Every structure is written in C-alpha cells, then in structure tokens.
Amino acid sequence: MDKFVINGGKKLRGTIEVKGAKNAALKIFAASILTPETVKIKNVPEVEDITRISELLKDLGVEVIHPKKGEYQITAAKIKTSVINPYIAKKLRASIVLTSSVLARTGNVKFPHPGGCVIGERPINVFLDGYKALGAKINYRNNLYNISGKLRGAKFVFSNISVTGTEAMLMASSLAKGKTVLKNCACEPEIESLANFLNSCGAKIRGAGTPFVIIEGVESLKGAEYKTIPDRIEAGTFAILAAATKSNILIKNCEPEHLDSLWIVLKSAGVCLKISSDSVEIIPSRLKTVDVKTHEYPGFPTDLQAPVCVLLTQAEGQGLVHETIFESRLFWLDELKRMGADVLMHDPHRISIKGPTKLRAREIESPDLRAGMAYLIAALVAKGKSTLNNVYQIDRGYEKIEERLRKIGAEIKRI
C-alpha cells in the first residue's frame, strides 16, 4: 500500500481550493438510478469512494461515463440485478443508500451489511425500520438482507438523527405512492442538496434541511444536471491544518456558511480569520485552548473532531473534547499520544488535551479517513520525518492531497 513521507515542522503559505463534497456526490450517484434518463454530475471529487460507488452502479447494469475530470454521466435505463455487490459494498458505508434507490426503482434489493470506517457501531436499523414503514418486507439469509415490496407513503419518525437514514428515506419516498412525512430528520447541507437534485428531476420534496420533511410521491423521475456543493469537511480540515501549523493559507471555493460552528471554535481558540462569501483566510495566531463538543448539524461536525484534537495539542491550556456521535471515535488518539500529545481519556466519549506540546515525528498508520487526515496534520506540525501508512484511507475522501499540499509548501511525497 502507498504511504506518505512527511518532513514536518515547517510553516505553509498560499492558496488551496476545496473540491466537491464526497458525501454529497455519493448520494447523487445513488439517486441517479431513480430515473431511466441520463444524470450529469459536475464538480465530483476524484476520490476512492467515488470509484467504489461507480463500480457498484456498473455491477447493477448502470452506464457510468467519466468524460473528463470531475464530471460523470449516469444512465440507469435498465437495472440488470437488484443485488448490490457484497465485495464492494463492504468497503463503502455509503453503499447503504443505494438500497433505497434500487428498492424504489425495482421493488426489490439484496445487500450485505455495509462497510467503511471503523469508528464504532453503525447499525442499519434506521433503514430497515424506514423501509418497513413504507410497506416493504424484510428477511435476512445467507449474509444478505432481502427487501421487497411496492412502497407507499407513510409517517416515519427517526428514533435517532441519521444523515444517511434521512437521505435514504428521501430517495425511497420520492417514488412511493402517496405522501410521506418524516420527522426528526438530519439537517446537513448535503441533505438539502440531495433534495434540490431530486426536485430538479421532478420529485416533490418540502422541508429538506429541517427536522420536518414532506414528500409527495411521483410515478417517475427525469434526468437532470447537478453541480456538487463544496466539501465543508475538507474546507474545515484545511482551516484547522493552517491554524495548527501557524500558517497563512487562503481556502478558496468553499461555502463558509456551512461551517459556522467551526468558526466559533477557532475564534474562541484565538485563530484570526478573514471570511468572505466563498473563501476563508487563516492568519498565524497564538492559540489558546477551547472545549469542543460534536453534535449533529448545525453543531460541530464529528468528522472534524480528529483534526481539532491535533490543533489543541498546540494550544495553551487544557481543553475537553466530547464526542457525542460515535462511541469509538476517540481511540485513534493512542498514536497521537505516542507522538507526544498530552491526552487524558476520561471515558470512550470524553478526553482532555493539554498544550502546547512538541509533537515528535514517527511512523504511524491511518485507521480511518478522518483520523488518517488528523495524523497527516500532526506529521506536518511535528519536526522531522514521519511516515504515514495506509493512505488509501485518506484517498477515500481527499483528492490527491499530497499534490495540493506541496503547492502550499508542504514537504510530502507518496511512495
């Protein structure tokens, strides 16, 4: 597997552009099979997860054309099978949202328990309960879920806020007969983006981006064009990277409105920011510690918890980080402690970080996408040569990250 070799401890400078949101594009790929007509998708990040979902679609018999970088054309005129390839699906958590569109389009879907990052228990009960509410029948045999039935509109209340669960129910309900009412929905920008795309295809969705969504089912959807929204997690990661390395970096092509909770945290930590309509400039600042609590949108994103922990190692004082979304998402900190971080774990959900500390260069391994990126930030902070293994995990969500970081002065190479 590829690895990164990083010579850290240097300040960076320059401009870095944000790519399209992986988590938005993945759902549009899944939703594209709700229509037999062609869907054109632009501003798609060239990352491993997009490659994986393209493979899943092709395996279903869907035509996926990649005419140029960042653009895809998807035509699901026919779907040859309703079985989602188990080998690929186990590598990609987002494969679960394909179940809704395949079920809505064909009346049947078979799939394995999805894979992805190992960051805690990620049950699929919310999907199964939602499909049941729409009238589907479910059984499980030979390590595959088998769901079938003609979907009808219904009222469904999410027992826990779920981003992918909300997205799946938007897709399934779009072709269900009658009206569907969803309550306690997730409110992430990616959900509103998905609803906007579906509405451009002829769906009738109201309230997306709020906890209360109404969908009037339609008989069919048409093709459409879609431009992927900027990746708010990537933009936030770059902002934290700049602050942690005390670098002057301009982050362009982003949507700052999607990251208000991060800007509050960074300002509280003493970071100097210049925010415009589509860019953010981070100016080197003296850091002071701050407490951080992850929460569903519009709260502080769980996907930025790992990078902000690295930031706190460089801030003066002791800060508390409370992870409320995933129960195993703080275990990555063991390696950061070996790099010199002063971390105290109170329980699986809460840790304290005391700073500032000098991080030591060392060999580390990416356990998952976001922790892998946090290690990369830590390696850029630490003086000396670090080796970061299993960078496939980072490639899943960040397009050619080493090339983009080199343009702002980072000493990083892929071997």
Which residues are tagged catalytic? 117
The amino acid at 138? I
Q: How far apart are CA 166 and CA 172, in angstroms?
A: 10
231 is in an annotated binding site: no
Look up residue 289 and give its two tokens: 């510690």
Q: How far apart are CA 306 and CA 294, in angstroms?
A: 11
23 is in an annotated binding site: yes
Sign of the C-alpha dihedral computed for residues 239, 21, 168 and 57 taken in this order: negative
Q: How far apart are CA 125 and CA 9, in angstroms?
A: 45
325 is in an annotated binding site: yes
27 is in an annotated binding site: no
404 is in an annotated binding site: no
User: Residues annotated as binding site for UDP-N-acetyl-alpha-D-glucosamine?
Assistant: 93, 303, 325
User: Residues annotated as binding site for phosphoenolpyruvate?
Assistant: 22-23
User: Residues annotated as binding site?
Assistant: 22-23, 93, 303, 325
